[in-house]
Amino acid sequence: MLNKLESLLAKTDIMLSLKQKQQLVAYVDMLNKWNKAYNLTSVRDPEQMLVRHIMDSIVVNPFLHGTRFIDVGTGPGLPGIPLAIVRPDSHFTLLDSLGKRVRFLRQVQHELGLGNIDPVQSRVEEFIPEPPFDGVISRAFASLQDMLSWCCHLPKPAEGRFYALKGVLPENELTQLPSGITLDTVVSLQVPELDGERHLVVLKSN
Binding residue ranges for S-adenosyl-L-methionine: 73, 78, 124-125, 139
Residue positions forming the annotated binding site: 73, 78, 124-125, 139
Distance (Å, whole) CA 90 – CA 66: 8
Contact 42, 141 (CB under 8 A): no
Of 107, 127, 131, nearest in space to 117 by CA: 107
Q: What does the chain come to in residues? A: 206
Instruction: Let me know: does 80 contact 53? Beta carbons within 8 Å.
Output: no
Please name which of 125, 127, 203 lies closest in space to residue 158, comparing C-alpha atoms.
203
* Whole-number Å distance between alpha carbons of 174 and 154: 20
